[in-house]
């Protein structure tokens, strides 16, 4: 019976779980930001490359 009481009052596992959830939320935010910015950066570089190709062909 004492073991069960100790498990109920033990808060170390809950703290580790909370840190895990926070890390998962941060990782999800990073993945979302990178995927959004990645396509924007890719489009920007494609536009620059096309402009440079047009400028080189015109000269």
- The three-state secondary structure class of 1 is coil
Where does the pLDDT of residue 23 fall: very low under 50, low under 70, confident under 90, or very high at 90 and above?
very high
Q: Provide the greatest CA pair distance for the chain.
A: 87
**Joined tokens for residue 52:** 């440079």
19 in the Ramachandran plot: left (φ > 0), alpha (ψ -120 to 50) or beta? alpha
Residue 2 vs residue 45, higher pLDDT = 45
Locate all alpha helices (DSSP H) within 1-59, ordered by sequence: 2-9, 12-58
Tens of pLDDT, residue by residue over 31-58, are 999 988 988 899 999 999 999 987 777 6
Cα of 42 vs its chain's centroid, Å? 18
Predicted TM-score (pTM) of the model is 0.52
């Amino acid at each position: 019976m004492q073991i069960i009481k100790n498990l109920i009052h033990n808060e170390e596992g809950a703290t580790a779980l909370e840190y895990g959830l926070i890390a998962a939320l941060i990782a999800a935010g990073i993945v979302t930001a990178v995927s959004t910015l990645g396509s924007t950066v890719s489009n920007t570089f494609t536009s620059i490359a096309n402009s440079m190709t047009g400028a080189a062909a015109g000269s």
